[in-house]
Structure 1
Amino acid sequence: MRIKRIGPRSLTARVLLLATTWSAVALVVISIVISQLYRQSAERSFTDLLRAQLYNVINSVTIGEDNKLIGNPQLGDLRFSQPETGWYWIIEPLGTFAATAISSSSLGTSNITVPSILQAPFNNRYERFYPTRDAFGNHVLVAETEVVLDGEGRAARFRVSGNLDAVEDDIRSFSRSLYIALGVFGIGSLIVNGLAILYGLQPLDAARRSLERVRRSEAEHLEGEFPREIMPLANDINALIESNRRIVERARMQVGNLAHSLKTPIAVLLNESRMLDKVQSDLVRSQAETMQAQVQSYLNRARIAAQRNSLLARTDIEPVLERLVRVMRRLNPDKEFHLSVYPPGAALALEQQDVEETIGNLLENSARFCRTGVWVTAALATAPPEKAEGEAAKRPWIEMAVEDDGPGLNPDQITEAVKRGRRLDESKPGAGLGLSIVSEIVSEYQGELEMTRGVRGGLRTQLLLPGMIKEVAG
């Protein structure tokens, strides 16, 4: 079953991304809501101010003995006496009342455009408020009402205006201060949240590092102190590692017991074969040796199957290959053996004896058929296409090759060579199981085996095997 990744691969990055996104969205929404609430409050306060000033003007004006409007409203705001400010008051007689209109000194000789009652109707308090522009281009809000001034029914229209730019300036100033404050608070919150998240997830990182130590065979179980939420997981992993180790040890013990129990009967058969005539002796000895090799091969497969998924399987490539090449040089002093390993710290996720048996078989075959020498290489490789996803894509792969300058094999011979017990050259010693054993070991470790004709004319056997994560990448 393949686990699909959703979102960022890092849990820390995922939590930080969600927390940052939520905090940013929350701060933006809060700033907009507060700004709008402040705008509504400022506009309502501005309207109330104009209403209060309107009634102050009404209370300050009367009709004189000469039937003129008289009064000098004192509104306590110098802007009503400064020209072109947008703050005005105007009193106009209505109906048959033929008095002259009076206004604040700030208005001068100009006037304010007044919409019709249909465009801006009066409310139930017989007031109306409407925005307009004065002769100087100021955007103003006008408060208007009509009042009867005496018992004779003479009435006048009262209007007081205020500059809306003052409200907008106040709102902009408040919003700017609000955004700065929320921005500073938001950045501080993100930093604190990030530190809290990093601190809270630190035990998971410690568990990951401890598990990597187990993978590199530097520790036998997860070590360290973990919080209550992670401790059950750490205990389960340790229990799994211990169970895996017991399975491997039990499989090794059973393999050893079986090998030991078969060793004596096979040795007896080989010894008794010497007492027979040559034809029968050769036949019995050949079959006993084949049986011995096949039993060992199946025992190896059982052992590999038991330990293949072990987290502790690890073999450094360079020292193993150097030892094998050194032995082959002693056994074949007339042949040259060349070794190249890159990077120097490369390691395989295989048991050492499996590496030795695999490369040892290939070296024996190459030494047997080569003319002058054998070339052994190991290098970091990319994952094969069928393993480019999931866990296989996360680990490095090692490409190992053994090449000789012998006669080589054609494609049909290569197909026959990997079959169990098949020998293409009966004049050479052997049981015909070497390449078959190599193929089985590589297959059990989910690797790949490919045999082609090399550039030197001989057989090139290429293995693609799983490597270790840290040492190979370095």
Structure 2
Amino acid sequence: MFSSLRGRLFSSTVVILILFLGGTGWGLIQAFTSSIEKGAQEQLQLHIYSLLSAANESGGRLFLPEALQEPRFNVLSSGLYGAVADKAGFLWRSESSTGVGLGKVTSLDPGASHFSVVSLDSDAQFYRLGFGIVWEGEGGVEHRYTFIVMEATDRYRVQQTSFENVLWKWLAGLGGILLIAQWLVMQWGLSPMGKLAHQVRLIEEGQTQQLQGRFPKEISPVVNNLNQLVSHEHRQRERYKNTLGDLAHSLKTPLAVLRGASDQGSESLSEIVETQVKRMDQIVEYQLKRAVASRAVKLGCSIPVDEVCQKLLSTLDKVYRDKGVVATIESDIETQATLQFVGDEGDLLELMGNLLDNAYKHCSRQVQVTLGMAETEQVGFIRVDDDGLGIPDDLGEQVLNRGVRADTETPGQGIGMAVVQDIVKGYRGDISIERSSQLGGASICLQLPCRLADS
């Protein structure tokens, strides 16, 4: 049961409900008991007043009539007993108390009362109320008496037992209704989890490629990350397939040239072999770089963009030392936060390495990297500007294709920007190529998943 989320929640609910209803029942019983005792005390006080009204004094001695107004005082063992006592002991006892031990007498001050629950010799429990008075007798002599009334608790206990039985039945019924309601609410509340599990099974069985439907905002990030992971896995497999096809197709021509030269016995065979081997090496290099872009996305991993850029700039400064390039990193972020790339560090190194290497190659002397957050939520931009000749407008989109180069005089194979585009697409990002408004050369801007982090 405890391996199931539903079982854990339901078990916790049962325990909490038992404790709550048990505490509620105990509290209500205590309140009802207190109310019964309060009512019994008031009833005994009325009996004392009736005894006081019937009392008289004769010859300096207090007496009460044999037959009292309350008939139970006159019936033997009726459960209602009355008595009057002074310091010496009992002066009068009702007919009903004959043969019954009324316990010890405690003298009370005039006007004072004492209520208690006592057990007599028969182990029966009684409510007992004592009330102290001052009686002014003949000649103005004052006498102190204590009036005592006792009543058996049996009829009160019957009421209490009946109340407890009804109370526990109602609480048990209410608890059952609440458990059923909680079970239904839990089924409804956890239904998105069941739906998520069903969707995952469909993906495992190959019946669908994405988690579909609407989910609560609490698990939407999980659903989005799973969809991103599944989508990336499908794109990766498709990329492997396309890469192998491209590699096979690209190698057909060089191999055919080599085969033809071999069949014809060409004297320049070594030159042809060297040329075609270089070409095949370029093709393999490109396909390997494309494979770099197919690595799995590391969800939740954040890489500081400025640190990666600074490392690359330090390296390129050494490579292009003779050129004397001045490179800077600017930030468009208003706060002190830093831009963090959400993805694989190797992908970020591949992206920035290609862009910065191209900028160093084609600039006159200045390179500028600008970091900031785009208008779209959780998307940042990285812009690389240089002061070179720039990229012609008609070649802006073409340089992202394999083998296309804007500058044929500078050494290169036209592979780097194609790799950049593949990586950016893998993160569902965007790449744009414009003329730099600040430095006058090329301006290449990437939009990638990013977040801000405190410095």
TM-score by length of 2: 0.51
Which residue matches 1:54?
Answer: 48
- CA–CA separation in structure 1 for the residues paired with 2:74 and 2:254: 125
Query: Residue by residue, what CA displacement relative to the aligned partner does 1:167-217 show, whole Å, maximum 9, x if unpaired?
Result: 444333322221111111011101111111101221221122012101211
Q: Structure 1's 101 and 245: CA in aligned 2 closer, same or farther, altered over 3 A?
A: same
**Aligned mate of 1:252, from 237, 241, 245:** 241
- CA–CA separation in structure 1 for the residues paired with 2:161 and 2:151: 18
Q: Structure 1's 147 and 255: CA in aligned 2 closer, same or farther, altered over 3 A?
A: same
1:68-467 aligned within 5 A: 69-71=63-65, 72-75=67-70, 78=72, 80-92=73-85, 101-114=91-104, 122=108, 125-152=111-138, 153-227=142-216, 233-266=222-255
- CA–CA separation in structure 1 for the residues paired with 2:100 and 2:256: 128
Q: Structure 1's 269 and 8: CA in aligned 2 closer, same or farther, altered over 3 A?
A: farther
Q: CA deviation at 1:60?
A: 1.9
- Give 2:43's aligned amino acid: L
- CA–CA separation in structure 1 for the residues paired with 2:204 and 2:45: 80
Q: CA deviation at 1:88?
A: 0.5
Which residue matches 2:378?
Answer: none
Q: CA deviation at 1:228?
A: 5.8
- CA–CA separation in structure 2 for the residues paired with 1:51 and 1:42: 14
Which residue matches 1:325?
Answer: none
Structure (1/2) with the larger strand percentage: 2
SS at structure 2 position matched to 1:148: strand
- CA–CA separation in structure 1 for the residues paired with 2:99 and 2:19: 52
**Aligned mate of 1:27, from 2, 15, 21:** 21
Check the 8 A contact 2:55/2:62 in 1, yes or no.
Answer: no
Number of residue pairs matched? Answer: 283
Q: CA deviation at 1:218?
A: 0.6
Which residue matches 1:377?
Answer: none
- CA–CA separation in structure 1 for the residues paired with 2:13 and 2:61: 74
Q: Structure 1's 64 and 151: CA in aligned 2 closer, same or farther, altered over 3 A?
A: closer
- Give 1:86's aligned amino acid: G
CA RMSD, 1 decimal: 4.4
- Give 1:163's aligned amino acid: A
SS at structure 2 position matched to 1:224: coil
Check the 8 A contact 1:251/1:306 in 2, yes or no.
Answer: no
Specify every segment of 5 or more residues in structure 1 that has no aligned partner in the other structure, as ranges. 1-6, 277-283, 310-474
Check the 8 A contact 2:2/2:8 in 1, yes or no.
Answer: yes
- Give 1:253's aligned amino acid: N
- CA–CA separation in structure 2 for the residues paired with 1:247 and 1:223: 21
- Give 2:119's aligned amino acid: R
Q: CA deviation at 1:231?
A: 5.2
- CA–CA separation in structure 1 for the residues paired with 2:262 and 2:158: 112
Specify every segment of 5 or more residues in structure 2 that has no aligned partner in the other structure, as ranges. 266-272, 299-455
Check the 8 A contact 1:86/1:138 in 2, yes or no.
Answer: no
Give percent identity, aligned residues only.
Answer: 23
- CA–CA separation in structure 1 for the residues paired with 2:249 and 2:164: 87
1:41 aligns with 2:35: yes
SS at structure 1 position matched to 2:170: helix
Runs of 4+ in 1 over 6 A off after TM superposition: 270-276
Check the 8 A contact 2:210/2:230 in 1, yes or no.
Answer: yes
- CA–CA separation in structure 1 for the residues paired with 2:29 and 2:263: 105
**Aligned mate of 1:10, from 4, 9, 32:** 4
Check the 8 A contact 2:110/2:134 in 1, yes or no.
Answer: no
Q: CA deviation at 1:227?
A: 5.0
- Give 2:70's aligned amino acid: L
Q: Structure 1's 187 and 86: CA in aligned 2 closer, same or farther, altered over 3 A?
A: same
Query: Residue by residue, what CA displacement relative to the aligned partner does 1:310-335 show, whole Å, maximum 9, x if unpaired?
Result: xxxxxxxxxxxxxxxxxxxxxxxxxx
- CA–CA separation in structure 2 for the residues paired with 1:123 and 1:102: 19
SS at structure 1 position matched to 2:250: helix
Query: Residue by residue, what CA displacement relative to the aligned partner does 1:69-120 show, whole Å, maximum 9, x if unpaired?
Result: 13343237x4x4443343201124666xx9x943323212433111556xxx
- Give 1:176's aligned amino acid: N
Check the 8 A contact 1:91/1:156 in 2, yes or no.
Answer: yes
Q: Structure 1's 18 and 136: CA in aligned 2 closer, same or farther, altered over 3 A?
A: closer
Check the 8 A contact 1:248/1:306 in 2, yes or no.
Answer: no
SS at structure 2 position matched to 1:74: coil
Check the 8 A contact 2:85/2:92 in 1, yes or no.
Answer: yes
